[in-house]
Amino acid sequence: MSDETLESVLSEQRIFPVPDSFAGRARISGMEQYREMVRRAEADYEGFWAEQARAELDWETPFSEVLDESRPPFYRWFADGRLNVSYNCLDRHIEAGAGDRPAIRWEGEPGDTRTLTYRELRDEAARLGNALKSYGVAKGDRVVIYMPMVPEAVVAMQACARIGATHSVVFGGFSAEALKDRIEDAEAKVVISADGGIRGGKTIDLKANVDRALGEGCPTVERVVVLQRAENPIDWVAGRDIWLREIMAEESADCPPEPVEAEHPLYILYTSGSTGKPKGVVHSSAGYLLGAIVSMKWVFDIRPEEDVFWCTADVGWVTGHTYIAYGPTAVGATQVMYEGAPTVPQPDRLWAIAERTGTTVFYTAPTAIRALMKQGEEWPAKHDLSALRLLGTVGEPINPEAWMWYYRVIGGERCPIVDTWWQTETVAHMIAPLPGATPLKPGSCTLPLPGIQADVVDEQGDSVPPGSGEGGLLVVRRPWPFMLRTVWGNEQRFIDTYWSYFPDQYLYLSEDQASRDDDGYFWILGRMDDVINVSGHRLGTMEIESALVSHPEVAEAAVVGRPDDVKGTAVYAFVILRAGREGYDLDELRRHLREHVTGEIGSFAKPEEIRFAEGLPKTRSGKIMRRLLRSIACGEEITQDTSTLEDEEVVRQLQGRA
């Protein structure tokens, strides 16, 4: 990593101190308190986590062992303890007198609404749990959940947790083929789905995809539970299919939570890596839930009696697992859930819901922020967002421009922004500000959570010191309670992917590149495979994107590398203009933008080629499909799986024009 490259990332000088009004009431208030927690965790690592696990979880059988490191990297936490996750998320709040507190305040795109209290959520999970048991689903059996963003998705996950079944949620945007692969890999006994989901005014034929997947394989599936959501006509397989509504009417709400071992697999979640088929990341029960809870408290500073929490992710991704299904419920908070597009019927949909529900803590992705930013400030201005007190982002580095917009326009310069770095594998926040303690720098996810030993290392695994101006690989030095446990059915792949990069030492490899500044703040530079080498300069594609986006005409940019005889790799940029492509002298604008990047980073970073695009190919979770862009940049045939693409037209447009 060259000095010039890092300079641009580390040149962000703005610091936003914690507002006194926020610090005064925060759970963790001031850097001294944060540092004290970090010191405690360093002095007695296992003791620190054991203390958290005793304080935050209700155990059926208390644990006596904390961390078992006898077979690395297969670490076990709290292994001789037993608990039930659904009990911890639902029953314990009811027992504490909060049964009538709204757990989920849901809104559908057509405007339909539904509120479930903690008691109602528990009763529905219990009824479905009883039904699953009656189909022969026992502890450890797998259930695939393929549902829209409706409360029943959370009910289904909690029902599995209640009886000790291991769920695997498949995002509703995945194709029948992708669904089939996942059902087969997990060998699921039951699939829980819906007649359809609604997004952008369209109905997504979930049940038809289930039928197709099961028609082509999936011999282990015995039952399909169907929620009627979209009044969508469906085919029916008698003896196999059953309506969820009938279950709710017939089954008893008495379904005692089944205690499971701390290490019992709560769920499998499939995620893509740099190679091969998606892998099933396996998560534990106790350690997992502990991560969800401490991050809700430390990073979201949540106060269950007062806060209205809203995470805009889909339950099909890890963010929807930890910050919809489990985290908010485990702490007993009220949350908002929305099914639908953020711009239907108008670009102020999210702000209207936030106003109506009195949302206080709002969590979304930079890509959503940039999209809403493009719509203009007049949309949020129509709404009273004064209840908001904290904002969060996740999923990719946030460029400082988007950060500032979010801070000023949505947060009214009053709300701290927690930029949270984590992954499907880490399952909860790892590096993030504690909003009552950590001064913020736009674009930095700041500092590791107490008890998380994140580091930046070189190829040998040696620390790259903060402030050295060098980048390196982001790793975690010690096993933590909520880390992934294995890859489902493939221990070797678990070892190869995450634990084999550095010989002779067990460092968890995140596959992200990062750098630390003088204050020890982490700056994520992008994925290892998003790093390109241009004439011997190692460049994070994200830095160039940030530079492009800081130009007033540019709404969004994606940068990839294209092999080049002379430079090794040439920078290739896809650029979306704020006002569309019409009316520009595009060649002149290209020259401007190259100059602009030269000014922002250096001449070596300026794009060799710039293609003006109508949109970028993204997965429905908002990730830019870089591999696809690389293929387009290289003029190759597209061989990638495009089934998760949000809008296929975008690819046709990009291929069609030079």
Do 297 and 331 meet the contact criterion of CB atoms below 8 Å apart? yes
Q: Which two tokens stand for residue 10?
A: 């580390």
Q: Which residue is nearest to ligand WT7 (CB)?
A: 424
Out of 8, 86, 319, 569, which residue is the one contacting ligand WT7 (CB under 6 A)? 319
Using the minimum distance from each CB to ligand WT7, give the nearer residue, 301 or 419: 419
Q: Which is nearer to ligand WT7, 185 or 512 (CB)?
A: 512
Per-residue interface string for the shown chain with ligand WT7, residues 73-102, x marking contact by CB under 6 A: ------------------------------
Give 81 or 397: the residue with its C-beta nearer to ligand WT7.
Answer: 397
CA distances to 116, 202, 233 from 236, rounded to whole Å, are: 29, 22, 10
For residues 318 and 548, which CB has a smaller minimum distance to ligand WT7 in the complex? 318
Q: Toward ligand WT7, which CB reaches closer, 209 or 312?
A: 312
Rounded CA-CA distance 19/23 in Å is 6
Supply the DSSP string of 442-496, one letter for each residue.
TT--BSBPTT--EEEE-TTS-B--TTSS-EEEEEESS--TTS--EETT-HHHHHH
For helices 626-633 and 648-656, angle between their N-to-C axes, nearest 10 degrees: 20
Instruction: Give yes or no for a contact between 53 and 83, defined as CB atoms under 8 angstroms apart.
Output: no
Dist. CA 120–CA 206, nearest whole Å: 26
Q: How many Å is the maximal CA-CA distance in the chain? A: 71
Site string for ligand WT7, 16-35 (x = CB under 6 A): --------------------
Q: Which is nearer to ligand WT7, 397 or 416 (CB)?
A: 397
User: At its nearest, how many Å lie between ligand WT7 and the CB of residue 395?
Assistant: 5
Q: How far is the CB of 625 from ligand WT7 (least distance, A)?
A: 12
Per-residue interface string for the shown chain with ligand WT7, residues 337-376, x marking contact by CB under 6 A = ----------------------------------------
Count of residues that interact with ligand WT7, criterion CB under 6 A: 18
Alpha-carbon Rg of the chain, whole angstroms? 24
Q: Which of 301/530 has CB closer to ligand WT7?
A: 530
Give the whole-angstrom CA distance, residue 424 versus residue 483.
9
Question: Contact 436/22 with Cβ under 8 angstroms?
Answer: yes
CB of 550 to ligand WT7, least distance (A): 17
Place of tokens 């991704």: 317
Q: Which residue has the tokens 């890509």?
A: 367
Closest to ligand WT7 by CB, 510 vs 569, is 510
For the CB of residue 39, give the shortest distance to ligand WT7 in the complex, in Å.
25
With CB under 6 A as the contact rule, the residue among 67, 103, 289, 318 that binds ligand WT7 is 318
Under the binding rule (CB under 6 A), the answer on residue 508 touching ligand WT7 is no
Residue from 296, 283, 326 nearest 85 by CA: 326
526, 513 Cβ separation under 8 angstroms: yes
Closer CB to ligand WT7, 212 or 527, in the complex: 527
> 318 burial class (0-12, 13-18, 19+ CB within 10 angstroms)?
buried
Chosen residue from 228, 271, 343, 468 binding ligand WT7 by CB under 6 A: 271
Distance of closest approach, residue 272 Cβ to ligand WT7, in angstroms: 8
DSSP-assigned beta bridge partners for residue 524: 514
Sign, CA torsion 446/449/450/454? negative
* Shortest reach from residue 279's CB to ligand WT7, in Å: 11
Least distance in angstroms from the C-beta of 465 to ligand WT7: 21
Handedness of CA 251, 253, 258, 264 (dihedral sign): positive
Shortest CB 399 distance to ligand WT7, Å: 11
Residue with Cβ nearer ligand WT7 (262 or 476) = 476
Instruction: Using the minimum distance from each CB to ligand WT7, give the nearer residue, 339 or 419.
Output: 419
Per-residue contact flags (x/-) with ligand WT7 for residues 526 to 565, judged by CB under 6 A: -x--------------------------------------
Query: Footprint of ligand WT7 on residues 214-233 (CB under 6 A)?
Result: none
Q: What does the buried/exposed string (b/e) look like for 421-441 if buried means 16 or more CB atoms within 10 Å of the residue's CB?
A: bbbbbbbbbbbbbbbbbbebb
CA nearest neighbour of 207 among 188, 183, 224, 184: 224
Query: Residue 292 CB, nearest distance to ligand WT7 (Å)?
Result: 13
List the interface residues with ligand WT7, window 457-476 (CB under 6 A): none
Q: What b-and-e string marks burial along 28-40, b requiring 16 or more CB atoms within 10 Å of the CB?
A: bbbbebbeebbee
What's the closest the beta carbon of residue 448 comes to ligand WT7, in angstroms? Answer: 13
Residue type at 601? I
Which of 263, 512, 517, 600 is in the footprint of ligand WT7 by CB under 6 A? 512
- Restricting to residues 31-60, which ones interact with ligand WT7 according to CB under 6 A? none
- Helix then strand then coil, in percent of the chain rounded to 5, is 35, 25, 40
In the DSSP assignment, the letter for residue 116 is E
529 DSSP assignment? G
Least distance from C-beta 315 to ligand WT7, angstroms? Answer: 13
Nearer to ligand WT7, 357 or 453 (CB): 453
d(CA 601, CA 535): 15
Closest contact distance (angstroms) between CB of 542 and ligand WT7 is 8
- With CB under 6 A as the contact rule, the residue among 295, 510, 515, 546 that binds ligand WT7 is 510
Rounded to a whole number of angstroms, the minimum distance from the CB of residue 169 to ligand WT7 is: 14
Residue 529 vs residues 217, 461, 513: alpha-carbon distances, Å = 34, 18, 9
Bridge partners, residue 556, by sequence: 576
For ligand WT7, the binding residues in 385-444 under the rule CB under 6 A are: 394-397, 419-424
Three-state DSSP class for 103? strand
Distance between CA atoms of residues 390 and 26, nearest Å = 11
Distance of CA 199 to the CA centre of its chain: 20
Q: What residues pair up with 440 in beta bridges, in sequence order?
A: 16
- Determine which residue in the list 227, 524, 575, 593 makes contact with ligand WT7, applying CB under 6 A: 524
Residues that bind ligand WT7 (CB under 6 A): 271, 318-319, 394-397, 419-424, 445, 510, 512, 524, 527
